[in-house]
Amino acid sequence: MGGVGRDVAGGRSEKQSRLTYRWYLRMALGSISRQAYAKVNLTLEVIGRRDDGYHDVTTILQTVDLADTVVIRAADELAVECDVADLSGEGNLAWQAAAALAVRAGIVPRAHIRIEKRIPVASGLGGGSADAAATLVGLNRLWRLGLSGEELADVASGLGSDVPFLLDGGTALGVGRGDELAALPGLPESRMLLVVPGSSIEAKTPTMYRALRPEDFSDGARTQAVARELGHGALTSASCCNAFERAAREIFPGLANVWSKVAEVTEYPPRLSGAGPALYVMPSSESERIRVVESLQGTGAAAYLVRTISPWG
């Protein structure tokens, strides 16, 4: 006599058959792993406030080989898991990316997304945006949507100004909110030193924009000069700029001290990335990183020697 929940012939129950089907589906599709590369703003000029409440900026964006890993697999429902526990769940930008893509495709979002963090959180290096971009690309493949790069960029622009750039990475000029992109001549591979202080502030981006003074605004001319320089030899951080540098020194606890310590031991001056507090120096070297690490003892700041890359080029 067949047991409870089993076919009379002794086969699998309906529930077991469904589970087996799902297992085979997941095995057939496998998992998709994407590297989510950090970005640095080689320049960031704020031109003025827009009617929609945002600001017009002009910026040169560059990807570097510091990366999170985003692993996506088929699942019965949407879930985002991160090895930084506070970043798991619906608050993660990767979750919002998956939900927005599903709306665009007219489907129910079903996937398990795991994020292994290496990009420091809320540092001005675009970690959350990179994870969202990797999620869009990965889910476009997993869900077999066949969306073009332009269609993905349209979804990405609703998630944040850095997300469209991080779909492809490389070197690009960003205008408008920073999401209107034009490819630039690739920066020759160069070593770059990233310094990330341990301090953070609440509501960073709006706080930093509110802190801008009239003298912090500019017309974009320095960015255009750097863009021209890209095609003619090596770029150094001495040529770069960021509208938030004055405000960042004043607002982020301990940043002014870290900044001065770095500047004392590097050949080229440190610059701010994004709205901070991460700094970068380029070009750099392992010996310079060691000097910086020694000078920063006791500050809580971390130093990373990375390379500029064009990951999908």
Structure tokens of 262?
């770095």
Distance CA 48, CA 59 (A): 13
Q: Write the CA distances from 82 to 31, 33, 101, 114, integer angstroms.
A: 16, 14, 20, 6
CB 249 within 8 A of CB 276: no
Greatest Cα pair distance, the chain, in angstroms, is 86
Given 7, 56, 65, 162, the catalytic residue: 162
Q: Please state whether beta strands 241-242 and 31-49 pair in parallel, antiparallel, or not at all (unpaired).
A: parallel
Neighbours of 277 (CB within 10 A): 30
Given the residues 39, 131, 179, 261, the one annotated as active site: 39
Q: Which residues pair with 172 in a beta bridge?
A: 61, 183
- Amino acid (one-letter) located at 283: P
Give the Cα separation of 192 and 275 in Å (integer).
18
The token duo for 279 is 């700094």
Give residue for tokens 């000097």: 291
Measured on CA atoms in the order 156, 157, 159, 163, is the torsion positive or negative? positive
Is 219 a residue of the active site?
A: no
Residue 162: active-site member: yes
Which positions are annotated as active-site residues?
A: 39, 162
